[in-house]
Amino acid sequence: MGLSDWFNTFCSNIRIQDGGTISTRYKNITKRLNTDLWNTTSDTSHSLYVGSYGRNTAINGFSDLDMICQLPYAKYEQYNNHYGNGQSALLQEVKSSIQNTYFSTDVSGNGQVVVISFTDGITFEIVPAFINDNDSYTFPNANNGGSWKTTNPKPEIKAIRERNYICNNNLIPLCRMMRAWKNKWNVPIGGLLIDSLAYQFIENYKYRDKSYVYYDYMCRDFFKWMTNQSSEQEYWKAPGSGQYVYGKGLFQYKAKQCYNIALDAISYETAEPKKEWSAKQKWRDIFGTKFPE
């Protein structure tokens, strides 16, 4: 098994395995809300995968799945004119609707989302929202007396998809590999920030159109690129939407540590004779046990 096979296997190992279960739940939720609020039994209309799953950058073992469920505009008018916290009341109506399907599952309203906690550890976070003229969404924020907020996930999904295509389908695997690194090293960085940084990095990367055999260089160089991000920077811009993505802490130090480990791994790969076992152990130090032995 050569270098290309190592990274091919690694990327395969971290792909989501239970997509069928997720799809079934997504359709059940969609059908329930459509039945109660849209007078249709469609299990696909008015809903959208968002977050890392929507951008196709989530990895196996992820816990939170985000979805937007578009509601009729009349509901916005109803709850915008509601006495008291209309946003909280809206979340409660959506929660009650979902409980008609998942009556024995833990369903709760939580500030801006309705949360369904399944026993297999996957949590669906449902954002009830109203579509705007520019294709963004207005959604309720029940905190601090209630308000409305805006999110714009569609351009983010499109931007990741398009750049991934332009870069020979290398962007999405990079985003996924860096999630494995985040989990292994407990890096204080959110998924959207990982995707935003990877999106920026790969735009002009010299090996962006290569294959798995260059993934060792790509990871090494991305770690170095992250290391060079200013520790004073508070936010970056998300692909497509340009929304601010705030940091959760300093990821640069752990990126530098793993840059140095990647250097060691590559030195083992290129040694004479090659020290493949030692190289793979270094990559496992970075990414965890999903990287092949």
Nearest CA to 226 among 202, 252, 246?
252
Q: CATH 3.30.460.90 in the chain, residues?
A: 19-151
Q: Give the C-alpha separation, 70 to 103, whole Å.
A: 22
Output the pLDDT for position 61: 86
Q: Which long-range contacts (CB under 8 A, 24 or more apart) does 8-12 make?
A: 8/212, 9/292, 10/177, 10/180, 10/283, 10/287, 10/290, 10/291, 10/292, 11/173, 11/176, 11/177, 11/212
H-type helices in 100-240, by residue range? 153-166, 171-185, 191-203, 215-227
The pLDDT confidence band at residue 216, using thresholds 50, 70 and 90, is very high
Q: Is the pLDDT of residue 160 over 80?
A: yes
Output the pLDDT for position 135: 93
pLDDT tens string 190-199: 999 999 999 9
Q: What is the pTM of this model?
A: 0.94
Q: What count of residues does the chain have?
A: 293
Nearest CA to 95 among 149, 229, 87, 280?
87
Output the pLDDT for position 120: 87
Per the CB < 8 A criterion, the answer to whether 190 and 245 are in contact is: yes
The pLDDT confidence band at residue 176, using thresholds 50, 70 and 90, is very high
Q: Give the C-alpha separation, 82 to 197, whole Å.
A: 41
Output the pLDDT for position 107: 86
Q: What are the tokens at 85? A: 């916290």
Q: Is the pLDDT of residue 106 over 90?
A: no
The pLDDT confidence band at residue 28, using thresholds 50, 70 and 90, is very high
Q: Is the pLDDT of residue 14 over 90?
A: yes
Q: What are the tokens at 77? A: 């008018």
The pLDDT confidence band at residue 103, using thresholds 50, 70 and 90, is confident
The pLDDT confidence band at residue 16, using thresholds 50, 70 and 90, is very high
Output the pLDDT for position 47: 97
Consecutive H or E run containing 113:
strand 113-117
Handedness of CA 116, 117, 120, 121 (dihedral sign): positive
Domain 19-151 of CATH type 3.40.50.1360: no
Q: Is the pLDDT of residue 104 over 80?
A: no
Query: How does the average pLDDT of the chain come out, rounded?
Result: 95
In one-letter notation, the amino acid at residue 79 is Y
The pLDDT confidence band at residue 287, using thresholds 50, 70 and 90, is very high
pLDDT tens string 41-72: 999 999 999 999 999 999 998 888 999 999 99
